[in-house]
Structure 1
Amino acid sequence: MHVPPLTNLTAADPKIAELIQQEAERQHDKLRMIASENYVSPAVLEATGSVLTNKYSEGYARKRYYEGQQLIDPIEELTIDRAKSLFGVEHANVQPYSGSPANLAVYMAFARPGDTILGLGLPMGGHLTHGWKVSATGAWFNAVHYSVRKEDGLIDFDEVRDLAREHRPKIIFCGGTAIPRTIDFPRFAEIAKEVGSVLVADIAHIAGLVAGGAHPSPVGYADVITTTTHKTLRGPRGAMILSTGEHAKAIDKAVFPGLQGGPHNHTTAAIAVALREAAEPSFRDYAAQIVKNSRALAAALVDKGFDLVTGGSDNHLLLIDLTSKGIGGKPAAQALDRAGIELNFNTVPYDTRKPFDPSGLRLGTAGITTRGLTEEHMPQVAAWFSDSVDALVKDDEPAQSRIAGEVSDLLANFPMPGWSRV
């Protein structure tokens, strides 16, 4: 059953209730390894589904455009205080609806259409909102992109420095969506300072690792930090912008009234809950275990003959290049899903295949770590992974069903937050 129960929803709309129950069961029975996903606690679920969704609160605490904010203001202020304390920053805006609007707010605060920005190219592991051509950020700004080296998949800092000196960007983004290694914030800060750029660290994927001490923090190096609140931070689908006090006014003005109206108060409260959970000592153990699992899985996959971009992982994320296997990432991802292993196909650096049928797979260990799996389980995960890919090559569909059953049997021993069979 769903936790909290869906009693009223079941009575009011049984079709939607049943689909949610089926989705919960699916999440329970599969190795959920999409690097941007996780499981939230029942407390986060309850806050997200609370009566706070009824309230409109345009503006900021103590400066609203609507009455009835006597309890909303303390909730937002508490969320801000927890964000500032957890990450050690001077200012936090907890209103952005998601990561992309958070990044758009940064542009609005520090640049104007046509200004130059510098970010990691999307095919190299960057994000759409770091100026990629199909994004509004690529259409509205003069976007220049740095790369990773072909020989090792690591960021080419010589290129970053050369491009920064040549183009003098208003903003430099570091971070991305498919970076399996530690981000060198000090080196980025050195380059940004040299050319007078605002350094923005997009830590959406690693925020939980930063909070838990399993990845170096950008605080003290980046002028502005953007992050989602799900992924490794294990909160609701939302976002935050963290900054020095110097940039607080510009950030707040860009979020509201620049880009958004009223914040989603139910999400704000759920972020507060997640931040409180992330401040507990047990969360540091969780963050460390994510990295242990990722490294153990990387080693096991290499032993099975898979090629990993950069050769391994320092965080929650692994990027696999299937070129040597002679198959594409999309059919492999679909086969693995049928085998009970959920991940996504992904472009790899210098990919020769098309973006919608690339050579790579992206996976992460945050979700399975929440379920309680440890490094001792990673060889088995790698074995299932390898068997599923082999079955795809051999067109052995019964093998996918067998693997899915074995995955489900294992996960029956590891409770899922938010759902139980009884």
Structure 2
Amino acid sequence: MTNDWLESCTWIEEALQRHQTYRRQTLNLIASENIMSDDVARYYSLELGHRYGNYEGLNVRDRKYTGNRYLMDLEERALTEACSLFHAGVADLRALSGHVAGSAAIMGLCDSGDLVLELDRVAGGHRLASKLSDARIIQLRVESVPFDGAAFQVNIEATIKKIKTRRPRLVILGSSNYLFPTPLKDIANACAQTQTTLLMDASHILGLIAGGQFPQPLDDGANLIIASTHKTFCGPQGGIILGKTDADVQRMLPALYPGLVTNHHLMRIPAVIALLSEWRAYGQQYARTMVENAIALADALEELGIPTVRTAQGATKSQTILLKVTDSKQAVTRLEDVGILTGAVELPAEHGGAGIRLGVQEVTRMGLQSGQIDELAKIICDALEDPTNKKLPSRVQAFGATLQEMHFCHSHE
């Protein structure tokens, strides 16, 4: 071995160790992250990461490369089981992320100059159409889906009116600040009348849909679902596209392949099959516990004087909690300084404009119990009110030490 090789290996190992030590000493409340169980991770195949499995259209057996005869079996099973779990007619796992899946949908379904309605920043929208248009990838006319800031919900009546009068090519619903399910049926009916495609971006709530806490979008009239597979769904990082019919997906496929993706990272496919099995066995319990923990934590924080975004429906019916603060960047920095990881968000003016987003999906996965909620709320409250308290990092670490066992998986039985 050369000295350069040894130095590189040592540096990599030390850098990874620093990261792993740091993350073990934190409480992860980032709403977009989660972890795979060992049961699923064991099927994340590095060997398949060396292989190509390109195919055109929806026929997974129409491969461009040879050497795929058994890989096709794996991919077919993953797609069949995904369709079953999400009540879909067709599924596709080639998108490398939810963002890529959404970009493929927009680029494949829209022509230059088409009108797209999507949620704006204060509603938590991912604003994919705006980003693609701003980057000059496709020139679109983009307008906001009407949003009721006080209720923190899509304004259904105003949205239906806008669809019927403006007749957009595409309506994108879904948010990174999802608190409550969006009623889709009436919006879907309006889209059907105007020949508008209704796309649900379910990246943050895919696990809640799989676990029965949020309605199935395709059952309620959405044409397409795009999502990532690693947030509440707690699988390997990647994207998924689900459609009601072959025709709904076929229209966007040229943009996906070969426009955005050729080789689609096959190493995750066996893990997705294991993940789908895990969700069939434990998904309802996991999703229900996520929501119960989020509601309890929001209530506990409110009792301690930390204001949350709260409507007639309560503070949340998802895994997400939104705190109202004066300076969101300062607040998330204070929390990280003591070992609590969160994210800054922009809120509607009705809720003060600045917020922090918390997600309980990972701490729930690692065993957060109802009896621990008050202590977690107290730690968060103390960190926001007095971040110079030198006892806080050790309190965070001690609390995190109680969350070391993976739940809602086969190996936990």
Report the TM-score when normalising by structure 2: 0.89
Measure the CA separation in 2 of the matches of 1:222 and 1:158. 17
Aligned counterpart in structure 2 of residue 47 of structure 1, from 35, 43, 62: 43
CA contact (8 A) 2:178 2:205 kept: no
2:173 maps to: 174
Alignment of 1:259-408 (within 5 A): 259-280=260-281, 282-311=282-311, 312-322=315-325, 327-350=326-349, 359-392=354-387, 397=388, 399=389, 401-408=390-397
2:232 maps to: 232
CA contact (8 A) 1:180 1:310 kept: no
Q: Tell me: CA distance 1:369–1:195, structure 2 relative to 1, closer, same or farther (3 Å).
A: same
Q: How many residues align?
A: 395
Q: Secondary structure at the match of 1:127?
A: coil
Q: Tell me: CA distance 1:54–1:139, structure 2 relative to 1, closer, same or farther (3 Å).
A: closer
Measure the CA separation in 2 of the matches of 1:123 and 1:134. 19
Measure the CA separation in 1 of the matches of 2:403 and 2:286. 15
Measure the CA separation in 2 of the matches of 1:87 and 1:137. 34
CA contact (8 A) 2:118 2:127 kept: no
Q: Tell me: CA distance 1:59–1:150, structure 2 relative to 1, closer, same or farther (3 Å).
A: closer
Q: Tell me: CA distance 1:138–1:153, structure 2 relative to 1, closer, same or farther (3 Å).
A: farther
Measure the CA separation in 1 of the matches of 2:250 and 2:138. 26
Q: Tell me: CA distance 1:54–1:306, structure 2 relative to 1, closer, same or farther (3 Å).
A: same
Q: Deviations over 1:236-271 (max 9, x none)?
A: 110100002232322433321232111100122322
Q: Deviations over 1:23-69 (max 9, x none)?
A: 23333332111110011112433333521111122225221221111
CA contact (8 A) 2:119 2:127 kept: no
For structure 1, the 5+ residue unaligned runs are 1-8
Paired residue type of 1:296: A
1:157 maps to: 156
Measure the CA separation in 2 of the matches of 1:43 and 1:368. 18
CA contact (8 A) 2:304 2:378 kept: yes
Paired residue type of 2:271: A
**Greater shift after overlay, 360-369 or 62-71?**
62-71
Q: Deviations over 1:343-385 (max 9, x none)?
A: 01111113899xxxx7211111101100100222222111111
**Greater shift after overlay, 134-143 or 170-179?**
134-143
Measure the CA separation in 2 of the matches of 1:157 and 1:226. 21
Paired residue type of 2:360: T
Task: Confirm or deny that 1:413 pairs with 2:402.
Answer: yes
Measure the CA separation in 2 of the matches of 1:134 and 1:361. 28
CA contact (8 A) 1:97 1:263 kept: yes
Alignment of 1:238-249 (within 5 A): 238-245=238-245, 246-249=247-250
Q: Tell me: CA distance 1:109–1:134, structure 2 relative to 1, closer, same or farther (3 Å).
A: closer
Q: Tell me: CA distance 1:128–1:248, structure 2 relative to 1, closer, same or farther (3 Å).
A: closer
Paired residue type of 1:195: T
| Higher percent of residues as helix | 1
Q: Deviations over 1:300-328 (max 9, x none)?
A: 11112222224400101111221xxxx30
Deviation, 1:86, is 1.3
Report the TM-score when normalising by structure 1: 0.87
Deviation, 1:215, is 1.3
Paired residue type of 2:29: M
1:70 maps to: 69
Q: Deviations over 1:72-100 (max 9, x none)?
A: 21121121112112112110001101111
Measure the CA separation in 2 of the matches of 1:90 and 1:300. 42
Paired residue type of 2:307: D
Deviation, 1:224, is 0.5
Deviation, 1:340, is 1.8
Q: Secondary structure at the match of 2:322?
A: strand
Q: Secondary structure at the match of 2:147?
A: coil
Q: Tell me: CA distance 1:157–1:132, structure 2 relative to 1, closer, same or farther (3 Å).
A: farther
Aligned counterpart in structure 2 of residue 17 of structure 1, from 5, 13, 18: 13
Paired residue type of 1:410: F
Q: Tell me: CA distance 1:49–1:409, structure 2 relative to 1, closer, same or farther (3 Å).
A: farther
Paired residue type of 1:278: W
